[in-house]
Amino acid sequence: MTPILDDLTPQQRAAAIQSGPTLVIAGAGTGKTKTLTAAVAHRIAVLNIPPARILAVTFTNKAAGEMTSRIKAALGEAMAPRWTGTFHGLGARQLRIEPEVADLRPNFDILDADDTRRMIKRVMKGMNLHSDEDRAGGAKDPIKIVCNRISKWKDELVIPRDAPAVAESAITSANRDGFPVDANSLRTCAKVYLEYQHMLQDANAADFGDLLLWPVRAMMQDRVYRDRWAGRFDRVLADEYQDVNRAQYTWLRMLSAEHKEIFAVGDDDQSIFGWRGADIKYIRRFTHDFPGAAQIRLEENFRSTGHILAAANGIIRRDHGRLGKTLFTRKAAGTPIEIVRFTSGETEAAEITHEIIRHHAEGEGWGNFAILYRGNALSRVFEEGLMCGKVPYTIVGDVGFYHRAEIKDTLALLRLVVSPEDRQSDEAFRRVINTPARGFGAKTMTLVEQEAAWRRVSLLQALETVQLPPKTRGAALVFADAIRNVGRQTGATVADLLSLILDASGYRKMLRDSQAETVEGRLDNVQELIQLAGSFHTPRELLDHAALSSNAPGEDASDTVKLMTLHRAKGLEFPHVFLVAWENGLFPPLYGDQDEERRLAYVGVTRGMKRITITHASFRRGPATPSHFLEDIPEANRVHGWHDHPPSSRPAFRHAEVA
């Protein structure tokens, strides 16, 4: 025990040994994992709580594994708690012990997201509901809408028989308040939920949502069951409390209702996942839920410099309702926050690439740099800049721009336009002939391929003679005519060709008509490609450029510049962070919870260890204005332009300008 406690600051130690209900408000970079681990070890080694009577839960297997390994290193293999894991993992263990609460039998299967999707698709087809994602090329995705709604209901502890009433209540409330709502979709989801749950039970299977839904519902309704489970544990410890949803929150409360020995670690300033069910109110009402609870703040940051923390404190201070804390460090002030303005997004990417190359030449590894953006559509221009500078990079948590479905679809259409009669274009044909849907399922494609092989022509040419049902044949010939007509547009630029074929093929209309949650981002990505195409003289140049854009197979990702969204960056740290496209409308966006967007800005700034550069453009698909978040960074902690050299010393990028 001594090494663990001796390695803590006074604040961390005070938190680790606190008894009773305790909320540790652990700021970014303040050592929350170390504190949580010490708290578990203290309860075992000092308070003599048997390891089997301690439950410690977090959100990722990685975090749970790290906690367990640290405890084993300090106390020995036999002293590690048996109930340490993720919410889903521990919920599954509970359900396996008493599966009957979910009307399941022993040895039930647990479905992953793909299994769930396939089962819901079968349910929808059986109910004669539109469920063929192929008919809309994967853009209009009713299955995903239903999957997401059912998952959300389970997280909110809504069981199937209550779903219709919940849906009607949501429709009534939305109509009363003047909010847009798809009433038919909600009612459909409720119907599917009922049938889907019957199918799960018949198959003796549970999806992820079931793993907490049914144990929690049982604890709410059956006092004997609740006492049996709550009586298993003398201490409950929870990580990332700011991210819990209703099911997770209720589960923790039920398990600790009698002894009140709950130890929660979290940071309301880093609550950024409201869009996927996390509810910030639970961490902010902790002392209400557990009267007399201790609140201990961890405010000493071991990651960042003084200027970075001052900037972060300035930004988050305007989030009203926060529990409150002020990060500080014993490190030097370091480099002020660099705020750099550029004329355009392309210049922004080129300058950042140049800056990374300059620092790399001075001895910095590529892996010391990260470029963080609000939405995935913004990655393209920075990929382009890094590719041109021959800088190795890795897209974290997302596929590269040229590997996104809508980009590959659009490039396939362009390839067909360029050489419709060439069999080299057959793969492009296979990709887009049914996007949007034209009746080309597996059987129809077999007929087309047989005709093409017999005639020794391209698949597009085979459409002229293959015997198909009238409706399918008509749609196919319209598609073929659209391809050829666009190809005859002499003098059209590459960007013009892309725009013309997107409209002529119906692909752009398909995206616009989509109900998918990702539609806005997909349209943005297509528009980015059209804008990019303006810099190429021929379609072949663009196609070759896209084909060569991926990182080399087997490339060591550890020493590469990291590109990722701000959400994906939570929990990570880098010596030098570029926070890009901080413009009103992009960050913060016009939609969504503005307080959560502010917390997202705070998370972004606190990823930096030594240096933060925030950039924005004067023009990005139109005139742009700097994010109002920049106004909250104290003047004493920022510098306008690059800190250590003037832009004029870099003639290769004369279009850059600084604020």
So which residues are the catalytic ones?
Answer: 32-33, 239-240, 270, 607
Nearest to 575 by CA among 317, 266, 331, 327: 331
d(CA 376, CA 208): 26
Q: Residue 607 gets which letter from DSSP?
A: T
Per DSSP, which regions of 261-310 are E strands? 262-266, 294-298
Instruction: Indicate the helix (H) or strand (E) that contains 85.
Output: strand 83-86
User: Is 158 strand, coil or helix?
Assistant: coil
**Helix, strand, coil shares, percent, the chain, to 5:** 55, 10, 35
Residue 446, token pair as written in the block: 């077999």
CA dihedral over 379, 383, 385, 386, signed as positive or negative: positive
d(CA 206, CA 208): 7
Question: What does the CA dihedral 167, 168, 171, 176 come to, rounded to 10 degrees?
Answer: -140
Q: Where are the alpha helices (DSSP H) in 338-441?
A: 345-361, 379-388, 405-418, 426-432
Peptide bond into 99 cis (omega under 30): no
Pairing of strands 608-617, 574-579: parallel
Nearest to 626 by CA among 613, 616, 638, 639: 616
Show Cβ contacts of residue 54 under 8 Å, excluding neighbours closer than 6 positions: 40, 43, 44, 81, 83, 84, 233, 234, 235, 237
Give me the residues paired with residue 341 across strands.
Answer: 616
Q: Residue 364 gets which letter from DSSP?
A: -
Nearest to 150 by CA among 105, 199, 107: 199
Show Cβ contacts of residue 140 under 8 Å, excluding neighbours closer than 6 positions: 133, 510, 513, 514, 515, 516
Strands in 638-640's sheet, in edge-to-edge order, are: 393-395, 561-565, 369-373, 574-579, 608-617, 337-342, 638-640
Amino acid residing at 40: V
CA distances from 172 to 106, 176, 476 (A): 41, 6, 44
Show Cβ contacts of residue 81 under 8 Å, excluding neighbours closer than 6 positions: 40, 44, 51, 52, 54, 55, 56, 68, 71
d(CA 341, CA 338): 10
The 10 Å CB-count burial string (b at 16+, else e) for 342-364 is bebbbbbbbbbbbbbbebbeeeb
Q: Residue 551 gets which letter from DSSP?
A: P
What is the Cα 166 distance to its own chain's centre?
Answer: 27
Q: HEC states along 464-530?
A: CCCCCCHHHHHHHHHHHHHHHHHHCCCCCCHHHHHHHHHHHCCHHHHHHHCCCCCHHHHHHHHHHHH
Pairing of strands 205-206, 109-110: parallel
